[in-house]
Amino acid sequence: MANKTKSTVPGNLAMETELVLAGRDPFRHDGFVNTPIVRGSTVLSPTVADLEGHTGRYTYGRRGNPTVESLEAALTRIEGGAGVVLTPSGLSAVSVALLAVLKAGDHLLMVDSAYQPTRRICDEVLTRYGIETTYYDPLIGGGIADLIRANTRAIFLESPGSQSFEIQDVPAIVAAAAAHDITTLMDNTWATPLFFRPHDFGVDVSIQAGTKYLGGHSDLNIGTISANARTFRRVHLTHGDLGMTVAPEDAFLAARGLRTMAVRLERHQQSALTVARWLVARPEVLKVLHPALPEHPSHALWKRDFKGASGLFSVILQPAPKLAVDAFLDSLALFGLGYSWGGFESLAIPFDCNSYRTATRWNPGGPAIRLQIGLEDPADLIADLDSGFAALAAAR
Ligand SMILES: *Cc1c(COP(=O)(O)O)cnc(C)c1O
């Protein structure tokens, strides 16, 4: 029998197998399958020589913890970069990554469809440190070259936009950035590394709000930053210098989420497509913004670059008064009204991109609603939406 006390994990495994194995080392923990939750700040050294020589594996809770390190190691394999650091939220992953690659006097190109709080980092924080941001059209592709200035040091992508669902031409933008030695960063929360691996496309820094599909249960906030060999040192240093740390309980829950991520995402994908196709055929619906639907304007790019679609998409209703749209949302029994997504439960929110966009105008043609399709039976979700449309009609 093989020696099971050693790590005898073969290479070249499928992603599903990696998700099960990555970051675990049971025989370092008396055989227990999962890395235990280790709480602690102080780490003792046996002698002064050990203390001063940093001979131990850990020196201080903020700088390394077995539970946190296990998740970082797992995500490093899944993302395929040089290393991963964890932050207390998805938003702090964005801010730490930007602070790691930019300095006073630099210029940043930020996609106009970015998660709205990401824009606040640029407009409210980076401006105070002398970093200027220009927003660009998510559909700009290689045309981004025209926006590059002598001091442009970073291009930030988010694809698809998490409300409007444009897919960016990542290879074209990465090529333009590479020609000027510009660092590329991507918020990849929607696809996760299971459906799109930014590093495989030459993106330097891959960011996830682990709060969403990694956690998967709406019970934690966590952010992940994966960096390639070119950028990991800067990301790691800035992360440490800013004192970023995550609770071992949150790292444990995120690692638990990782094990089931492939099966959850497969179900989110199938159910979301089922609901999206049903919505397309409804007279109350003007259009459905889901990149995996052939009629979506970005479908060809999605098909070229992505391995799948997750459970979040938007629907544009035929013009209707706010009162009627509110009646639709209020009548839903299975869709909760709340922010965030990626958990097991379905959600709905109304939104309007024009409240924050600056580089592009958004003309959806009717009221916009974003749906997160959870793990419920899609037939039940469709029945819920059907009664919502009855409420909408009654309120007009
Ligand atoms: C939710 C979200 C974030 C922020 O994650 P938090 O954990 O809520 O801070 C960042 N980017 C995208 C695309 C998100 O959906």
- Listed by start position, the domains of the chain span 15-257, 262-395
Distance from Cα 17 to the centre of ligand 1, integer Å: 27
**Model confidence over 292-324: pLDDT tens digits?**
999 999 999 999 999 999 999 999 999 999 999
- Beta pairing partners, 111: 136
Q: How far apart are the first and last CA of the chain?
A: 71
Q: Could you name the CATH architecture of 262-395? A: Alpha-Beta Complex (3.90)
**d(C-alpha 154, C-alpha 156), whole Å:** 6
The residue whose CA is least distant from atom 8 of ligand 1 is 90
Distance from Cα 308 to the centre of ligand 1, integer Å: 20
pLDDT band at 389 (very low <50, low <70, confident <90, very high): very high
**Model confidence over 81-102: pLDDT tens digits?**
999 999 999 999 999 999 999 9
Q: Which atom of ligand 1 is nearest to the CA of 221?
A: 7
The closest alpha carbon to 71, from 232, 224, 190, 183, belongs to: 224
- CB distance 163 to ligand 1 below 6 Å: no
Q: Which atom of ligand 1 is nearest to the CA of 222?
A: 7
- CB distance 221 to ligand 1 below 6 Å: yes
| The pairing of beta strand 183-187 with beta strand 152-158 | parallel
Q: Which atom of ligand 1 is nearest to the CA of 90?
A: 5
Contact between residue 382 and residue 275 where contact means Cβ atoms under 8 Å apart:
yes
The residue whose CA is least distant from atom 5 of ligand 1 is 90
Mean pLDDT of 69-76: 98
Rounded CA Rg of the chain = 22
Distance from Cα 183 to the centre of ligand 1, integer Å: 21
Contact between residue 280 and residue 294 where contact means Cβ atoms under 8 Å apart:
no
Distance from Cα 90 to the centre of ligand 1, integer Å: 5
Model pTM greater than 0.85? Answer: yes
**d(C-alpha 40, C-alpha 62), whole Å:** 9
The C-alpha angle 105, 106, 107, rounded to 5 degrees, equals 125
The residue whose CA is least distant from atom 2 of ligand 1 is 209
Catalytic residues: 62, 115, 187, 212
- CB distance 166 to ligand 1 below 6 Å: no
**d(C-alpha 251, C-alpha 100), whole Å:** 22
- CB distance 270 to ligand 1 below 6 Å: no
- Per-chain mean pLDDT for the chain: 96
**Model confidence over 323-370: pLDDT tens digits?**
999 999 999 999 999 999 999 999 999 999 999 999 999 999 999 999
Mean pLDDT of 24-33: 96
- CB distance 189 to ligand 1 below 6 Å: yes
Of 96, 110, 115, 339, the one to substitute when testing ligand 1's pocket (max ligand atoms within 8 A of C-beta) is: 115
- What DSSP string runs through 205-272? EEEEETTTTTT-SS----EEEEE-TTTHHHHHHHHHHTT----HHHHHHHHHHHHTHHHHHHHHHHHH
Angstrom CA distances, 110 to 81, 94, 132, 208, 383, stand at: 22, 12, 10, 17, 40
What's the confidence (pLDDT) of residue 9? 59
- CB distance 332 to ligand 1 below 6 Å: no
- CB distance 192 to ligand 1 below 6 Å: no
The residue whose CA is least distant from atom 6 of ligand 1 is 90
- CB distance 95 to ligand 1 below 6 Å: no
What CATH number was assigned to the domain covering residues 15-257? 3.40.640.10
Q: Which amino acid is present at 389?
A: F
The closest alpha carbon to 269, from 194, 160, 348, belongs to: 194
**d(C-alpha 221, C-alpha 239), whole Å:** 17
- Residue located via tokens 């590329």: 184
pLDDT at 5 over 70: no
- CB distance 89 to ligand 1 below 6 Å: yes
**What percentage of residues in the chain have a pLDDT greater than 90?**
97
